[in-house]
Structure formats: structure tokens, C-alpha cells
Amino acid sequence: MSLVDELAVRCRFPDRPTLDCAVSGGADSLALLVLACREGRPVTAVHVDHGIRPDSGDDAQVVAAAADRFGARFVGHRVRVEPGPNLEARARAARYAALPEGVLTGHTADDQAETVLLNLMRGAGIDGLAGIRRERRPLLDLRRSDTDALCEHLGLQPVVDSTNDDPIHRRNRVRAELVPLLDRIAERDVVPIIARQADHLRDVSEWLDVLAGAVDATRVSDLLAAPPPVARVALRRFIQEQTGADHPPSADALARSLDVVHGRIRSTELGRGW
């Protein structure tokens, strides 16, 4: 069995007639492209150039060459991201705005572990600790070492993004400092452990969503009768829908809202005038 076949067994590609893959040119996304092409369905490699690095235009050539080699269609987009604060987040938003709906990405188990740790540090709830959803991430059971090995095996030269080493980005410090420290403390590889916990918490989160769907959050009696975790999910969902916010209410705002439900206070501020 070839290395491609060995890794393909651990991938979970969706049951679709065609596969659109976001391909930056890095090892993870090139591996995604290769493994998607192995599926035997029409594949499109979609590349987005942010123009942040002076040589970023060369990345498209790497992706186009790989797409041609493995029989995929290539589509390139250029977006402009102005320098300034939150550059990484704004670049990500611009990238996803240019990508087709349902596009597959090359996130691995290492990305999953880093995401969970980042969400833990910012105080996320169960949804955040459940990490990255699997629906569009067929490589989530692979490691970065797997994608690196696949590129080396096939003679592919991945793009090296220098911003991935910049400690100004918190994810880079989690990758370079925190995960290795946890490995040393635990005396084992913690990435599979964290990724497995994320899967368990995703199951719990989705079940809570189902239970919360039966609760009418406009009725105090329903919220009081529901188990506290279910009531919190129902109320959080209701507040986010009513306010139109991109993110659910903070833990403090949700706690104060539950104080209103229980009659401990008459009203509370949710932010943005609500």
C-alpha cells in the first residue's frame, strides 16, 4: 500500500459529486488536494492570494502546477487585506469570502488541538472546547507530520509562509511553545488526546442543541423547567438570534440573563444597546 493509500484510509471526504478544496500551497492543503484527487471525483483547487507577503503571487503557481499534475481544475482569486490590527483574522475572513460555499480545508489534528487550547484560554464554553467541526475538514484525523511526509514522498515543494513563525500571532506561540511544553509535562503526545476530547465534547454540544430546540426561550416556565445546561443553551441561542450578533453572548451576560429568568434581577445589559 502506498503512502497516499495509507493516509486516505484515515480521511473522511464528504459524499459529494465534486470536491472543492482550499489550497494555499502549504503542506496540509497540498495533501488535501492529492487525497481529494485520489477519490476519483472532479476536484477544483481554489487558491486565494491575500497579497500580504511580497512573494505571495508565486504561491498560485505552486498550486496550479500541483492541480495540473494530479488532474484537478485550478481557480485563483486575489483579495486585498489592508495592514493593521487583527490582520490574521481579517485575512481569514477575506479568504473565506472568496472561497465557494462548502469548500474543504486541510486542517489536521494539530490544528484541532491548537484551536481547543486557544478557545480554552479565551474562556470559551463547550462549543469552543469542541473545536473545529468535521464537516469540511476531511484530514482532521491526520497529523502535520503526515502531510509533510506525503509532500516529501511525492516530491512536492510546499509554500513556506513566514508569518507562521511570527510570535505576534497567538496560535504560533501555542504551536511552538505551549504544545511542546504540554508534551513534556504529560510525557506523551497530547495532540491526539486533545483532539479526542474535542470529538467527545462535540457530541455533547450537539445533543444539548437538540434538547434546547424543544425549549421555548420566550417562556420563563420552560426555562425554569429545563435542566440548567439545556436552559443555558436555549437562552444563549435565543439571545444570539434576537440580537443578530456574530457570536453568542458572553458567559457573564448569559449568567445575568438567567438571573432575570429566576427573578433575581429585573433586567440586564447585553451589549450593543440590548
Whole-angstrom distance, CA of residue 34 vs CA of residue 26: 12
Q: What is the mean pLDDT of the chain?
A: 91
Q: How many CB atoms lie within 10 A of CB 245?
A: 14
56: which 3 cell numbers? 505571495
74, β-bridge pairs? 45
Q: Is the confidence at residue 177, as pLDDT, over 80? A: yes
CB 207 within 8 A of CB 229: no
pLDDT tier at 84 (50, 70, 90 boundaries)?
low
User: pLDDT per residue over 25-52, tens digit each?
Assistant: 999 999 999 999 999 999 999 999 876 6
pTM for the model stands at 0.88
Q: Is the confidence at residue 197, as pLDDT, over 90? A: yes
The percent of residues in the chain predicted with pLDDT above 70, rounded, is 93
Which residue, among 136, 165, 143, has the nearest Cα to 46 in the 3D structure? 136
